Amino acid sequence: MSVKLNIEGHLPLSHKLSPQLQFQGLPLLGRSLTASPLEDLWQLDNKRLPWGIRSLRKKARAFAETHLAPLAAELDLAEHLAPGEMHPKVKNVLELAGKEGWLSYFMPWPLGSLPYSVAVYPLIWSCTVVVEEFSRVCGGLMLLLSAHHLGCMPLILSGKRKMILGPLRNIYRDNLNGIPHLAAFAITEPQAGSDVEDGLGASLYRPGVVATPTAGGYLLNGRKTFISGGDLAQSLTVFAALDGEGMDSWTCFYVKTPTKGFKVARTELKMGMRASGAAELEFNDVFVPEHDVVGGLRQGWVLNRATLNSSRIPVASMGVGFAVAATEEAVQFARSFKLGGKPLIDYQEVQLQLASMLAETRAIRSLVWQEARHAWKPRQLNASVCKLQATDRAQVVCEMAMDLMADQGTLHEQRIEKIFRDLRLTRIFEGTNQINRLSVIDDWQAQLLNNNKQVGV
Amino acid sequence: MSISLDDAQAFLAEVASFSRDKVASKALHPEHPITPNDLTQLSIEALNLGLLPQTESEGFALWEHTESQGAMTFNIGFLQTLSEANTALAFAWHRQALAMTLLKASNSKINITNPLDISFLSTGHYGLGRMSFGRYLATEQEEQIASEDAAVLQDWLDPEQPSVLIAPAEWQSLVWPVWKNNSVRWQLVQREKLNVSVQRRQHGFDELAAFKVCGNKNNHRYLELSQPPKALAQQLLKQDIIGLLAIGAGSLKRVAQQTIEYTAIRKQGGHTIQSHPAVQQMLVEIQGALLQVENALQLCSRPLATIRLTDLLHYRMQLQPQLCHAASQAMQAHGGVGYMLDVGIEKGLREQNMLRMLAGGLLGIPLLLSALQESVV
């Protein structure tokens, strides 16, 4: 079998006018300042990461390719299940993911599974590389495994020993023992999507879920909607206003399910991310003991915003993962599909498209990694910039792949149509990208209002 | 026979009534596609009403006439109106009607009982034949073509290469283009004589199904057509582009209306969201896209022969991404609700994506246009 030496329009690497291999013939100084031979881009990026994060990234890819990728198409096409029902293969994935530590890696041993070699870096950084790898193979399974961490986040951010050594440790321990125990983050209400993600909106919003004091605790009443993973979660961090008060009284309650008065009313039929449920939750006099108030009364709004600041960079990395997947699909298609006896990659218009997709993808990964590696204390502005830019541009990359594949791209088997359906949600959840733009300004106010100083950008 | 503008308006009123009363009433729940049985019933009813063409009778059905302003107004308005009620059905009928016009032109007598039995492919197995198709179309003499272009077109229109077909699940025969003797010819092929693989699902057009089809061209007969092959290939490509734009316009009109209504009642930050500049920007983008595609279609409401293929290719290349963007903005304006199947907005976005990818997609248009530049078609 003959090996193709060059892509049409380009010199073979062995040609004298192709510099790649000839860089090796330069004197030492020249060699040290030139790249040769050229490496695979994923491997190259691995080398740029610290050892611990690099290992985590490789482990995440191996898990994703071994356990998530084979199920992606099947779960996307599977029938919609009634609330509370779990596809057997989802259960299996949750067991495996739990045992391998993917549901407990926000804390190091002995509480969780985060390797100490990684714990010395910002948690958000670890999370972004994992989420990117999971998104690359299946948006739905990624969300199933990632929304769980969102549900756990208020417990961690509360900083309260009883929350961390109580509910959080139990959740993590169950998962590490192979007993699926998911957590879900419940903020959205039927009349409030963006209002629960934006301070000004919240100040004008009348809360829908209300906590009424009762002997030994609180009774929760109301409905939460579009709660990712809420259908399967056994632990919920539920945000509710105190009876008779406004959103500034928002308080986070830890609710263990099943419990009296709690019901998963329905699960949504979604465009994509179908391996993960979006549930409507009903609370009818659900009793929460006083000790399950997370972080104190009226601390809910702060915990909510801190959670979103932590989660929006990982959501940006979903965009990166989807852009990677779209680019890889397009590359594979261009290498294998032929027109006029030649693979598509031999045509210049296809090369231009692939190069643009790669540039877009690497640009958003650079942005996300740059912010993530410094996100010890994730800031709203930086997180929102990442989220809106990465997810907006990921859609552009996906559309470029669709244009490249044309009619063939309409088919489920080509994956690109599913990637589009999955990624489309990332521009909406965790605050629409419009709300995230406003969050940037919201958080930038201190500088913007100081007319005596030039604003740094 | 020709259709006057007054005739067209009268016929369009009938289409509007049919679309509203018969089709839209079956498409009330976007999460439940119209069933194949209902699609068939609707199609037979439309056939009996004379809305869809038959080979054995003359009438004023979809794409049956293209020679006057009235006829084109009718064709475009028909597809827009029907697409507003159900876009997949509009696509199926559009393709069926193109197949029927070819069959009629070839004097093929086929007794149609179910219009959904016949479908149509307008392009080869990938893209638009790069510059080769453009150079073929631009060369005045029939069958004169450079050998390298012939090689590309031979492959592009090779029936042995699997092509994607989006069609009603029960289609029985297909009209497709084939390269023969250095020109584009058309074949009517029976499903049972093709290698047909049913695909598990497609991105949009939920009422239809996806197939990969291929076969040996020697097993099928060529349609005997009096029109010169190049002129015919151009004509069909023009009809297909106009049809896809009209279908896209209809789909977006439905989505736009729904978005306007939703943003007028949904409150965030203490006000209806239509009062927020972030939403106003999106609404204006949606309306702008709709306005542009409707203007383009208005320009196409004249005899087909007078419309330049190059203009249509520009329209498709520029407007289809705008239609996709507008549908995406409609989803954005809805927020999480727009992502749910039972609301219908996401269906509109998938429909625009389908229109973007089908018929060779958009990536090859600049090459085709470039090759056509030497001779304005």
- The boundaries of the domain holding residue B307 are 230-372
Is A412–B203 a contact, with Cβ atoms under 8 angstroms apart? yes
A46 and A58 Cβ atoms separated by less than 8 Å: yes
Query: Is A281 in a helix, a strand, or coil?
Result: strand
A444 and B244 Cβ atoms separated by less than 8 Å: no
Can you read off the two tokens belonging to residue B181?
């003797």
Q: Is the residue at B235 inside a domain?
A: yes
Is A406–B361 a contact, with Cβ atoms under 8 angstroms apart? yes
Largest pairwise CA distance in chain B: 69
Is pTM, for the whole model, over 0.90? Answer: yes
Among chain A residues, CA nearest to B276: A434
pLDDT tens digits for range A309-368: 999 999 999 999 999 999 999 999 999 999 999 999 999 999 999 999 999 999 999 999
Q: Is the residue at B189 inside a domain?
A: no
User: Does residue A23 belong to the interface with chain B, where contact is any CB pair within 8 Å?
Assistant: no
Is A417–B356 a contact, with Cβ atoms under 8 angstroms apart? no
In order along chain A (457 residues), what is the average pLDDT of each group of 10 residues?
85 90 91 87 95 97 98 96 92 98 95 94 97 98 98 96 96 97 95 73 83 97 96 97 94 97 96 97 98 96 94 98 98 97 97 98 98 96 98 98 98 97 97 95 96 94
Domains (ranges, CATH) in chain A? 42-149 (1.10.540.10), 184-300 (2.40.110.10), 302-448 (1.20.140.10)
Amino acid at A292: D
* ipTM field: 0.96
Residue A88 CB neighbour total at 10 angstroms? 7
Give the H/E segment covering residue A332: helix A300-336
Query: Is B201 in a helix, a strand, or coil?
Result: coil
User: Does residue A412 belong to the interface with chain B, where contact is any CB pair within 8 Å?
Assistant: yes
Identify all chain B residues contacting A270, using CB atoms and an 8 Å cutoff. 339-341
Which residues 219-248 of A are in CB contact (within 8 Å) with B?
225-226
Calpha distance B204→B74 (Å, rounded)? 26
**Phi and psi, residue B225, nearest 5°:** -120, 135
**Phi and psi, residue A244, nearest 5°:** 80, 0
Q: Is the residue at B45 inside a domain?
A: no
Among chain A residues, CA nearest to B335: A428
Query: Is A98 in a helix, a strand, or coil?
Result: helix
Residue B355 CB neighbour total at 10 angstroms? 24
Query: Is A220 in a helix, a strand, or coil?
Result: strand
pLDDT of residue B377: 45
Using CA atoms, how far residue B251 sits from A319, B9, B244, B271, B354, in Å, is 27, 21, 11, 29, 12
Q: Is the residue at B77 inside a domain?
A: no
Query: Is A301 in a helix, a strand, or coil?
Result: helix
pLDDT of residue A38: 83
Q: The tokens 């078609």 sit on which residue?
A: B377
Identify all chain A residues contacting B163, using CB atoms and an 8 Å cutoff. 407
Nearest CB among B130, B340, B357 relative to A410 is that of B357
Identify all chain A residues contacting B202, using CB atoms and an 8 Å cutoff. 410-412, 417
Q: Best of A391, A402, A407 to disrupt the B interface by mutation (most B CBs within 10 Å)?
A: A407
Is A402–B357 a contact, with Cβ atoms under 8 angstroms apart? yes
Q: Best of B155, B201, B341 to disrupt the A interface by mutation (most A CBs within 10 Å)?
A: B201
Q: Mind telling me how many Å the CA of B47 is from chain A's nearest CA?
A: 29
Nearest CB among B31, B155, B362 relative to A269 is that of B31
pLDDT tens digits for range A271-298: 999 999 999 999 999 999 999 999 999 9
User: Does residue A185 belong to the interface with chain B, where contact is any CB pair within 8 Å?
Assistant: no
Residue A14 CB neighbour total at 10 angstroms? 11
Residues belonging to chain B: 377
pLDDT tens digits for range A107-149: 999 999 999 999 999 999 999 999 999 999 999 999 999 999 9
Q: Structural domain tally of chain B?
A: 1
Q: Is the residue at B63 inside a domain?
A: no
Q: Where are the beta strands (DSSP E) in chain B?
A: 118-120, 163-167, 173-180, 183-190, 195-198, 209-214, 267-268, 271-272
What tens-digit pLDDT sequence spans chain B (377 residues)?
678 999 999 999 999 999 999 999 999 999 999 999 999 999 999 999 999 998 777 889 999 999 999 999 999 999 999 999 999 999 999 999 999 999 988 988 777 889 999 999 999 999 999 999 999 999 888 778 999 999 999 999 999 999 999 999 999 999 999 999 999 999 999 999 999 999 999 999 999 999 999 998 777 789 999 899 999 999 999 999 999 999 999 999 999 999 999 999 999 888 899 999 999 999 999 999 999 999 999 999 999 999 999 999 999 999 999 999 999 999 999 999 999 999 999 999 999 999 999 999 999 999 999 999 865 44
Identify all chain A residues contacting B136, using CB atoms and an 8 Å cutoff. none
pLDDT of residue A90: 97
Residue B360 belongs to domain with CATH number: 1.20.140.10
Is B364–A201 a contact, with Cβ atoms under 8 angstroms apart? no
Query: Is B3 in a helix, a strand, or coil?
Result: coil
- Concatenated DSSP letters of B50-69: T-S--SSS----TTT--SSH
pLDDT of residue A2: 65
Q: Is the residue at B294 inside a domain?
A: yes
Q: Is the residue at B222 inside a domain?
A: no
Is A407–B336 a contact, with Cβ atoms under 8 angstroms apart? no
Amino acid at A122: P
Which residues 346-365 of A are in CB contact (within 8 Å) with B?
347, 349-350, 353
